[in-house]
Amino acid sequence: MKAITIRGIDPEMAERLKKFASRQRKSINQLILEMLRQELGMEKRKRYTRTYDDLDELFGRWSDSEFEQIQRSIDEERKIDPGLWS
């Protein structure tokens, strides 16, 4: 494979690339290759893959004991009564 050097990357762009790649858990090289492939029409853009977390604060969380209590209730309701199926 060919290696290409890109000149003129200022510190701000380098930092943004680094953060963007980090958020996607990719190397900067992987990120740039994917961007080039997409822009050159060699790879389709992924649509509808963004994960949103802006409403997370509106939802509560169960403690382990609350989860166990709710799960016991669900399990109890899912039991089949043999008398109803005779």
Angle, helix 28-39 to helix 11-23, in steps of 10 degrees? 90
pLDDT of residue 43: 80
70 against 82, higher pLDDT? 70
pLDDT of residue 20: 95
Structure confidence by residue, pLDDT tens digits, 38-77? 889 898 767 777 777 787 777 777 888 999 999 999 999 9
Domain ranges across the chain: 11-79
Q: Under DSSP, is residue 20 helix (H, G, I), strand (E, B) or coil?
A: helix
The DSSP call for residue 43 is S
Listed in sequence order, the residues at least 6 apart from 21 whose beta carbon sits closer than 8 Å to its beta carbon are: 27, 28, 30, 31
